[in-house]
Structure 1
Amino acid sequence: MDVNKEKELLQRNRALGPARYQREVLDLYESTRQALAETIFLWSAQTGLPKEPCFALLNFIRSYKQPAPEPDSLPTVDIIPILSIAFLYAIDLSVLHKTDGDVVQRIVPLVMSGSQFLSAMQDELSNAEKIWADKGLKSLILMGWAVTLSTLRMAPQMTPENVVLANPDVVMEEAIQSGVFDYLRQVFLSNDQLYKDVFALRRLHGLITDFISQMPHKVKEMRLRAEETDKTIHAFMHEGLEPPTNLSHHFEHLLLAIARLYSTDPLHLQLSMDYWCSPDIRRGLSFPYRTQPKKEALYSFVLQTCEVLPTTLFVPYATMLAALASSPRGAQQCF
Structure 2
Amino acid sequence: MIANCLNRLRVSIVFGTLFLCLSCVSQAPASWILRDIQSLDANIMNTVQWIKIEKSNLKFLNKSIKKKLNFFRKTNFLVFQKIEIEINSIEKNIKNIEASLTKQKKLARKVKKRPKLKIFDTYDNTNTKRLPLLGGKKEIGLKKSKSKTVLKILESLEKNSSLIIVNQKSYNSSLNNLIKLFKKEKYDLVFIREEVEEYKYTIKELIIQRKQQNIHLEKLILKLNDALLVSKKSSYTLNLLDISQNIENYNSIMDKFENFVNNLVDIGGKECRGLVYLKKIGHKKDYQKKYEMGIADYKTTLSEIPKLISSI
Q: Provide TM-score, normalisation by structure 1.
A: 0.20
Structure showing the higher helix proportion among its residues: 2
Q: Provide TM-score, normalisation by structure 2.
A: 0.21
Structure number with the bigger relative contact order (C-alpha 8 A, sep ≥ 6) is 2
In our comparison, the structure showing a higher alpha carbon Rg is 2
